[in-house]
Chains A and B, each alone.
Chain A
Amino acid sequence: ISNAWKTTPIKWYPIPALLGAIVLVGIQARRNYVADRQGRGKIVDENGKVVTMSGPWTVYVLGALPLNTISRIWGWANNLTLPVWFRPFGFRLYSRIFGCNLDEMKDEDLTHYRSLGEFFYRELKDNARPIADAPLVSPADGKVLHCGSIQGRRVEQVKGVTYSLDALLGLTSDPQGIETSAKPDSDSDHQITDDRQFANVNGIEYSLERLIGDERAGSQIPRGWTKLVSYRWWKSWVRSENKTGIPAGGKGKHDSIRDAHETDDEDAGVPTPDTPEMIGKYANVAYEMGSGALPPILQRHSPGHEGIGSGNKLFFCVIYLAPGDYHRFHSPTSWVVERRRHFRGELYSVSPYVASRLPNLFVLNERVALLGRWRHGFFSMIPVGATNVGSIRINFDKALRTNVRQQRRLAGTYSEASYSLASKLLGGQPLQSGEEMGGFLLG
């Protein structure tokens, strides 16, 4: 034995890198699976049930990869400045592979794009995308994955695969986990220049009628719409309906509004909308009465946006942007964005292949939910990130930072910002149909 130990030659063989990677990914997949089974994630659906990743084994392998880190490295690599001589060749090759139309670019000189990231976020010529005269137009170039009406508060990702509307928009998140920043963009505090006109940051004036798309805008929306007006509207509505059985509230979060602007005799017998549940309850009633646009103070607290107007339904549409597509998105209608919710999450691929195999994909991925209203009521637009395009940019929200490295991330939490200062008249950021809103960046 001693002789064999001393004389037998030892020959080392390298373990194939692929085999090593597979083993590591397998271990991580197993850890993720166990964590999901234990309900560590806090994304919940409309029934309060924790939403976790599920699917075939390939999904767990995908989930084991450090997708957020890969996405950030991908973004860094694609923002490296390329040599000028290489740019036309490289970008033409990319265009040929992914089917980009170079003729519709605003700047056709390919040497002006310093990196693939800049080329990816290219602008199009003016009028390259005519905006149809329709209530709802496409916000982006892409493929319609699915569209239809929402049944039972669930949205269909692809045929037969659904996810919770509440989880998508953060309507039933764990209150302990909600991180509220509420930092409106100071640059968006536009000035109202006229009774029916107001200017955006570029000095372009909007017509109220066109923004709201409703003839009521000029007559029924009072000038200088403020929280004071909102509260007075609430009081007058309660008085006119002679509501009984409404519990008189104590010192609530909205009492500062009342204290600042009202006298005691005006308040006699008028309950204060203290709790979100109470406000939401009467917001729904007001919707049913067809009282038109609700004051922002009521809309904000309407639980789950359940105040669907009489004769209305909730609809949805999912549009997938392929790698070669124009990656800026535009407003799909004339509407007012009241707030945004930034959900940090994973960055799974959102290709139709993965979307059809990974339930809750759009709920698990990092996304920005823009919530507001249009002429028919509630309206929302949710850009969802992916591995190769993890960063989402919103033009009128300079504070938004997506796909950033974080030490600790609680699943199901979100940060929220209000755009109420963007236009005090409308209570949010107004957008016209076809107006550029932002886009997706590489990595």
Chain B
Amino acid sequence: STIVLVFEAPEEFDFVCKPGQKVRVGETLGDI
């Protein structure tokens, strides 16, 4: 199963995760 997020955010938004990285519920994905 997969979850896709599509969202609008300011251009300064930046992902703190990288492809291939393991994440868990509640961990930061991105920040502004």
Contact = CB atoms under 8 A, between A and B. Distances in A.
Nearest to A158: B19
A321 B29 CA distance: 15
A129 B25 contact: yes
Nearest to A386: B1
The 4 closest A-B pairs by CB, nearest first: A377-B8, A131-B26, A134-B28, A129-B25
Given A130-B26, A132-B26, A144 B4 contact: no
A137 B1 contact: no
A329 interface: yes
B9 to A, nearest CB: 5
Contacts of B10: 311-313, 376
Where chain B touches its partner, the secondary structure class is strand
Given A134-B31, A376-B10, A434-B25, A142 B3 contact: yes
11 contacts: A129-B24, A136-B31, A143-B20, A144-B19, A312-B11, A318-B3, A355-B2, A374-B7, A377-B8, A378-B7, A381-B3
Contact of B29 (A147, A376, A382): A147
Interface string A196-219: 000000000000000000000000
Nearest to A389: B1
Contacts of A350: 1-2
Highest count of chain B CB atoms <10 Å: which of A137, A382, A434: A137
Interface of A: 129-132, 134-148, 150, 155, 158-159, 165, 168-169, 305, 308-309, 311-321, 326-327, 329-330, 332, 350, 355, 362, 374, 376-386, 389, 434, 440
A435 to B, nearest CB: 11
A134 B25 CA distance: 13
Interface residues of B, number: 29
B23 A143 contact: yes
A384 B4 CA distance: 8
Contacts, number: 182
A68 B7 CA distance: 30
A321 B15 contact: no
A316 B5 contact: yes
A428 to B, nearest CB: 15
B6 A326 contact: no
Given A155-B6, A317-B29, A381-B5, 7 more contacts: A129-B24, A137-B26, A313-B10, A350-B1, A376-B7, A379-B6, A382-B3
Contact of B19 (A146, A168, A169, A309): A146
Contacts of B17: 138, 144, 147, 317
A315 B24 contact: no
B29 A145 contact: no
A418 B6 CA distance: 19
Nearest to A352: B20
Nearest to A367: B4
A136 B9 CA distance: 10
B2 A138 contact: no
Given A147-B19, A312-B11, A313-B11, A138 B4 contact: no
B16 to A, nearest CB: 8
Given A143-B23, A317-B15, A319-B23, A169 B30 contact: no
A382 to B, nearest CB: 4
A308 B8 contact: yes
Contacts of B6: 150, 155, 165, 168-169, 314-316, 378-380, 382
Contacts of A381: 3-5
Given A141-B25, A315-B7, A384 B15 contact: no
A159 B18 CA distance: 12
Given A313-B8, A316-B6, A319-B2, A135 B32 contact: yes
A141 B23 contact: yes
A208 B23 CA distance: 29
A313 B30 contact: no
A321 B22 contact: no
Contacts of A374: 7
Nearest to A308: B8
A314 B27 contact: no
Contacts of A138: 17, 23-29
